[in-house]
Amino acid sequence: MDIAAVETLVTDLLTIFLPKLVGVVILLVVAWTVAKWAGKRVTKTTEERLDLTIALFLGSLTRYLILIMALLGCLNIFGFETTSFAAVLGAAGLAIGLAMQGTLSNFSAGLMLLIFRPFKVNDVVSTAGVTGKVIHLNLFTTELDTPDNRRIIVPNGSIFGSTIENVTFHDTRRVDVSVGTDYPADISQTRETLLGAVANLEGVHAEPAPVAYLTELGASSIDWSVRIWANTDDYWLVRERATQAIKNALDDAGIGIPFPRMDVHLGGKIVSE
């Protein structure tokens, strides 16, 4: 390659390619900024009229659409006809669909979650092997915060394809406290003691009334389940209060809480208890 050809190539790069490259960089920076602003704006406006779950989803969708339009504009700057590009994408649609079936599945699952609304932002759910508070429903994933403050990102396809337990769907929730008592203890007295322990406990609802349910005759104890109702937000606090109150009430009534024991016999003699 002679010097003239090199000079021509450099001139073309400086006068043709470089301005286009600078324009593409500027376009992408502006598109990124506008996409973030528009996404937040759509989220805020939609939240005021609908709710937070739909608002976050539409805000995310807006950002992706603006970025896609910017990418098409960049291709146009470099001389790629967007109509031809769309035709190429259409011809390769089957191959792209097969290659991205997981991503497309997550996108469609996100739409289904938005339509059927099995949960909303700030609900606590148990799904796909994860339990946590819903923070964000995106186009392809759902973000959850666990009780120990870990952020878990789950593909929407995994959530929609599994059982979804919405823990905080209802305003009230039943609290079950299991306890075992000595066999010599009187059944009626034990029931009265258990019910008395939680009757006036703070946070316990009067209706439905507390119940002391005899579950089974265990190997070393008579097993009970004390069932009370409380506000969903107070579940763990009421459960702890009830457990402590039941323990104190049984102690005051002289009713023991036995622990499992094992007798080992060798030659007809007990060698350990």
Residue range 52-64, pLDDT digits in tens: 777 777 788 788 7
In this prediction, what percent of the chain has a pLDDT beyond 90? 46
Smallest CA-to-CA distance from 180 within 154, 142, 148, 218 is with: 218
Q: Listing from the earlier edge strand, what are the strands of the sheet with 172-181? A: 172-181, 222-231, 211-217
Residues 21, 27, 28, 32, Cα dihedral to 10°: 170
- DSSP string for 77-113: HTT--HHHHHHHHHHTHHHHHHHTHHHHHHHHHHHHH
In this prediction, what percent of the chain has a pLDDT beyond 70? 76
**Reported confidence tier of residue 260, pLDDT bands at 50, 70, 90:** confident
pTM of the model: 0.63
Which comes out higher in pLDDT, residue 138 or 125?
125
Tell me the three state secondary structure of residue 205.
coil
Q: Cβ neighbours of residue 203 under 8 Å, at least 6 residues apart?
A: 230, 231, 234, 237, 238, 241
Rounded to the nearest integer, the mean pLDDT of the chain is 82
Q: Cβ neighbours of residue 30 under 8 Å, at least 6 residues apart?
A: 70
Smallest CA-to-CA distance from 141 within 250, 57, 68 is with: 57
Q: Cβ neighbours of residue 212 under 8 Å, at least 6 residues apart?
A: 190, 191, 194, 195, 224, 225, 226, 227
Residue range 104-121, pLDDT digits in tens: 788 888 888 888 889 999
Which structural domains are found in the chain, ordered by start? 3-91 (1.10.287), 117-166 (2.30.30.60), 172-252 (3.30.70.100)
**Reported confidence tier of residue 30, pLDDT bands at 50, 70, 90:** confident
